[in-house]
Amino acid sequence: MSFFKFIDFHTHPFLSEDNNICKHIESANMSVSRTKEIYEKLGKTKICGSVLSKSLLDKPDTKWEDVQKLNDLALELEKTYNGFYIPGFHVHPKFIKESIAEIERLSKMGKKLIGELEPYRFSWGELNYASKEFYEILEAAEHYKMVVSFHTKIDDEVAQNQIDQMISRFKNLTFVGGHLGPNWIILRHLKRFSLNDNFLVDVSEQGLTRHGTLRRVIDVGGKERVLFGSNFPASHPGMWAGAVQLDQDITDDEKEYVFYKNAERILGVSLD
């Protein structure tokens, strides 16, 4: 069924069970090769995103080695998937020097995507998106023209304000807010479109679930500021892709931008 054509901007591909954030791994019949098969059945597709580790969630002090190991796994998967997967990398505000060196290393390899960053999985502790430690890293990211995808579904006004501060401070850096979220966070995203012209959102997870949300986000941000994302393997990409494709309030032209044209533009890649 070659029905869709999209770049899934928000995924977390996995090698081991520790990397797999699906809650029903056994029922969902998952493996490294199956991931590609699932997408191939949907159509012409590519995926992006960072590799995660469930065991880090319970560790109070993430070490730089843990972070870099996931980045190396992403590179390994990139090889395995041979053009299907565009890797995303982690940086960490507790490890400024290492993070900047990592940006340099990856930039030399032609990589462009940082994230999705998920602070709660990597014990950022007191540090946050508006910390000066993180800003130092973002300066390097800006210098190397990286795209920064970051988790935004944080149920806390203070954290939402920190996101606003970060994207206002780095107006030349391309940011992608991961997930639309519940309605009150969507309203924050809508305001962010005017804080930074290079701020985009991806439609993964909660938010797209509501009737009319995509229409509303495009009406405010424009068709060039919204990226398709599914949060695979937590979710099935077909359900999210169908939500966009079958939405009768969205034009075909808008669908093309959401599905792949915007990702192609910001990452400098081509789906074809």
| Residue 116 binds Zn ion, judged by CB under 5 A | yes
Supply φ then ψ for residue 232, to 5 degrees.
-55, 140
Per CB under 8 A, does 41 bind other proteins? yes
DSSP lists the bridge partners of residue 226 as 201
Q: How far is the CB of 194 from other proteins (least distance, A)?
A: 18
Are the beta carbons of 34 and 246 closer than 8 angstroms? no
What's the gap between Cα 139 and its chain centre? Answer: 20
CA distance to 60, 111, 118, 148, 189, per residue, from 185 (Å): 27, 30, 17, 19, 6
187 binds, among Zn ion, other proteins, none (CB under 5 to 8 A by kind): none
What residues contact residue 188 under an 8 Å CB cut-off, 6+ apart?
A: 160, 163, 164
- Using the rule CB under 8 A, is 29 a contact of other proteins? yes
| Binders of other proteins in range 154-183 (CB under 8 A) | 183
Judged by CB under 8 A, the stretch of 34-42, 57-65, 102-110, 160-168 that binds other proteins is 34-42
- Name the binder of 116 from other proteins, Zn ion, none, CB < 5-8 A by kind: Zn ion
| Residue 223 per-residue DSSP state | G
Instruction: Choose, by CB under 8 A, the member of 216, 256, 264, 271 that binds other proteins.
Output: 216
The DSSP secondary-structure symbol of 100 reads H
- Name residues contacting other proteins, limited to 88-107 (CB under 8 A): none
Query: Which residues bind to Zn ion, rule: CB under 5 A?
Result: 116
Query: Which residues bind to other proteins, rule: CB under 8 A?
Result: 1, 3, 22-29, 38, 41-42, 183, 205, 208-216, 219, 232-236, 238-249
